[in-house]
């Protein structure tokens, strides 16, 4: 199934726009999704260092299945 | 999270009470120089739905840990040097817990709220600043 992953922070400079759509197996985990994203990013894959996936409610651990709803790929944060 | 100018005084009023003997506040601002480079502006990006939930969770955690009332607001968008990027207010019976709560909230913001900043310099390309990798926080 196709899922849209929103991109933030430095990932916006990857030349992929503000989101990327990837084809994932049903009940894909965050770990599987990051692996697919690595391929989608190609030469820009080093930008994925330290990134995590999150829903609009929480950060996902690598073994979590993707929940329905919005999904975002989040680089290390630096608010304040 | 807001694209509008922050109003720290309004946050202080929001946490004030006749029962309180202290209101402490913290305001983070855009600095003109960072790592030896002259900064003209900073752009703040955020994943809004999660950022707003994390801010609320941090405020609730502070209110659980100390007898305080906390209000917090964070900017999005492009800010000029000197503009307020984050404002925190804590009202309490005494100063110690008000100061402690403000410190706790800003440190937690830097550690777990999905916000990113890109510095724009007087000379050369802008740069996204390095930060803290996120981790799942639920038990």
**What 3 state SS string does chain B have?**
CECCCCCHHHHHHHHCCCCCCEEEEEEEECCCEECCEEEEEEEEEECHHHHHHHHHHHHHHHHHHCCEEEEEEEECEEEECCCEEEEEEEEECCHHHHHHHHHHHHHHHHHHCCEEEEEEECCCCCEECCCECCCCCCC
- Residues A5-21, mean pLDDT to the nearest whole number: 92
* Tokens representing residue B27 in the block: 């305001």
- Which of these, A77, A75, A79, lies nearest to A12 by C-alpha position? A75
Domain ranges, ordered by start, for chain B: 8-124
Domains and CATH numbers, chain A: 2-74 (3.10.20.30)
**Of B53, B129, B138, which is closest to A78 when you measure between CB atoms?**
B129
Strand spans (E) along A1-80: 2-7, 19-23, 52-54, 72-74
Residue B85 has pLDDT above 80, yes or no: yes
Q: What is the pLDDT of residue B39?
A: 97
**Are B86 and B106 in contact, with CB atoms under 8 Å apart?**
yes
What does the alpha-carbon distance between residue B50 and residue B56 come to, in Å, rounded to a whole number? 10
- Biggest CA–CA distance in chain A, Å, is 38
A30-62 pLDDT per residue, tens: 999 999 999 999 999 999 999 999 999 999 999
- Residues A15-44, mean pLDDT to the nearest whole number: 94
Q: What is the pLDDT of residue A14?
A: 80
Residue A16 has pLDDT above 90, yes or no: no
Give the list of residues 6+ apart from residue B17 with CB closer than 8 angstroms, or none.
B69, B91
pTM: 0.95
What ipTM goes with this model? 0.95
Q: What is the pLDDT of residue B138?
A: 64
Averaged confidence pLDDT in chain B:
96
Percent of chain B with pLDDT over 90: 96
**Of B28, B50, B130, which is closest to A76 when you measure between CB atoms?**
B130
Residue B108 has pLDDT above 60, yes or no: yes
Q: What is the pLDDT of residue A15?
A: 84
Comparing alpha-carbon positions, the chain B residue that sits nearest to A13 is B128
Taking an 8 Å cut-off on Cβ atoms, the answer to whether B49 and A50 are in contact is no
- Residues B103-118, mean pLDDT to the nearest whole number: 97
Q: Chain A to chain B, count of Cβ pairs less than 8 Å apart?
A: 97
A65 in reach of chain B (CB within 8 A): no
- Residues B116-137, mean pLDDT to the nearest whole number: 93
Residue B111 has pLDDT above 80, yes or no: yes
B48-82 pLDDT per residue, tens: 999 999 999 999 999 999 999 999 999 999 999 99
Name the pLDDT band for B45 (thresholds 50, 70, 90): very high
Residue B139 has pLDDT above 60, yes or no: no
Between 3.40.50.1370, 3.30.360.10, 3.30.2290.10, 3.90.1170.40, what CATH number should domain B8-124 receive?
A: 3.90.1170.40
Q: What is the pLDDT of residue B102?
A: 98
Q: What is the pLDDT of residue A13?
A: 82
């Amino acid at each position: 199934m196709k899922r849209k992953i929103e991109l933030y922070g430095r990932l916006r400079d990857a030349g992929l726009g503000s989101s990327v759509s990837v084809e994932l197996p049903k009940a894909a985990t965050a770990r599987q999704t990051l692996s697919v994203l690595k391929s989608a990013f190609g030469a820009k894959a080093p930008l994925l260092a330290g990134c995590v996936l999150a829903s609009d409610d929480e950060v996902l651990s690598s073994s979590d299945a993707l929940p329905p709803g919005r999904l975002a790929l989040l680089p290390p944060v630096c608010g304040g | 999270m807001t694209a509008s100018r922050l109003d720290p005084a309004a946050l202080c009023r929001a946490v004030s009470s006749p029962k309180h003997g202290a209101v402490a506040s913290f305001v983070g601002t855009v600095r003109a120089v960072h790592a030896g480079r002259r900064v003209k502006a900073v752009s703040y990006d955020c994943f809004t739905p999660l950022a707003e939930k994390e801010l609320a969770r941090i405020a609730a955690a502070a209110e659980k840990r100390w007898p305080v009332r906390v209000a917090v607001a964070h900017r999005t968008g492009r800010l000029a040097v000197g503009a307020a990027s984050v404002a925190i207010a804590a009202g309490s019976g005494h100063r110690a817990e008000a100061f402690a709560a403000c410190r706790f909230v800003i440190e937690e913001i830097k550690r777990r709220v999905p916000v990113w900043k890109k510095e724009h310099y007087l000379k050369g390309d802008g740069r996204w600043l390095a930060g803290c990798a996120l981790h799942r926080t639920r038990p």
